[in-house]
Amino acid sequence: LIAEPGTTTALVGSSGSGKSTLLSLIMAFNRPTSGRVLVDGRNLDQIRLSDYRDCLGVVLQENFLFDGTIAANIAFANRNATLEEIRNASRIAHCDEFIEQFQAGYDTIVGERGVKLSGGQRQRVAIARAILADPRLFILDEATSSLDSESESLIQDGLRALCQGRTTFVIAHRLSTIISADQILVLEGGEVIERGTHAQLLAEKGRYTQLYEKQYGLERNRFINPGEDFTPDLQRDVERV
């Protein structure tokens, strides 16, 4: 696996395929039993862990928020951030839309583990926190899985802008969110079984095509009449991409 600087690598696969394990290796939570993890040509084992993690921006499916203000939670990754910088990160993550509805605004207390916020709101706060960290390496683990379709669409533009110039690894439930990735890795049983862009993998008609066809069909079926024949036009998608 090689991820060139400034590119986005998407990880795809069913539950238990090894996506989270791979991210754990990249984040240095686990050490490889064989092989090496190299960062800019240096063995990760030879890099001070605190220095390495200072370069990481991470948004997980479940994100930890402490019992403090929204502003303090966003600024956790950058304690020297100004309120204007916090507001700017919030705008990119579309946090400002719900923060401004609270009487206390950015001084609103979120409660233990962010219990006073919805799942989607907690996730957007975590995204704003990662944006404020201004990381070299960005990790998105199912980063929009708690958002409704409208909220997900709003933050995708912000995330795409954020990923420019940063090495990014992303896991997503919705394959539509990773169509523009520089490379997509399909994992199964802890191994990479397919590699390529969205268009290349659809053209191969392998495991990725099966996953995409199944998901695309489920999403389209929400808008067609019961009993209507539906066959995804994969070739059309290849040409469109």
**How do beta strands 8-12 and 38-39 pair?**
unpaired
Average pLDDT on 218-233 reads 41
CA–CA distance from 118 to each of 57, 95, 111 (Å)? 22, 12, 12
Residue 106 structural domain: 8-223
Tell me whether residue 241 is in a domain.
no
CATH of the domain at 176: 3.40.50.300
Tell me whether residue 42 is in a domain.
yes
pLDDT band at 151 (very low <50, low <70, confident <90, very high): low
What pLDDT was estimated at residue 183? 96
CA angle (174 as vertex; 223, 30 as ends), nearest 5:
165
Cβ pair 217, 43 in contact under 8 A: no
What pLDDT was estimated at residue 85? 96
Tell me whether residue 233 is in a domain.
no
What pLDDT was estimated at residue 217? 67
The model's pLDDT over 6-36, given as tens digits with 9 standing for 90+, comes to 999 999 998 889 998 999 999 999 888 888 9
Strands (E), the chain: 8-12, 38-39, 42-43, 56-59, 137-141, 167-171, 183-188, 191-196
Tell me whether residue 2 is in a domain.
no
Q: Which residues contact 174 (CB under 8 A, 6 or more apart)?
A: 144, 152, 215
Tell me whether residue 229 is in a domain.
no
- Identify the residue with better confidence: 151 or 191: 191
d(CA 9, CA 6): 10
d(CA 186, CA 106): 40
SS3 of the chain: helix, strand, coil, percent, to 5: 45, 15, 40
First to last CA, the chain: 24
The tokens describing 167, both together, are 């090495």
d(CA 192, CA 186): 6
d(CA 233, CA 111): 47
Tell me whether residue 18 is in a domain.
yes
What pLDDT was estimated at residue 33? 87
Segment among 12-26, 53-67, 196-210 with least mean pLDDT: 53-67
**Mean pLDDT rounded to a whole number for the chain:** 83
pLDDT band at 154 (very low <50, low <70, confident <90, very high): low
What pLDDT was estimated at residue 145? 60
Number of folded domains in the chain? Answer: 1
- Identify the residue with better confidence: 92 or 160: 92
What pLDDT was estimated at residue 223? 40
Neighbours of 206 (CB within 10 A): 14
Tell me whether residue 230 is in a domain.
no
The model's pLDDT over 82-122, given as tens digits with 9 standing for 90+, comes to 999 999 999 988 899 899 999 999 999 999 989 999 888 88
Tell me whether residue 28 is in a domain.
yes
The tokens describing 140, both together, are 């998105």
The tokens describing 74, both together, are 């966003």
Average pLDDT on 200-208 reads 94
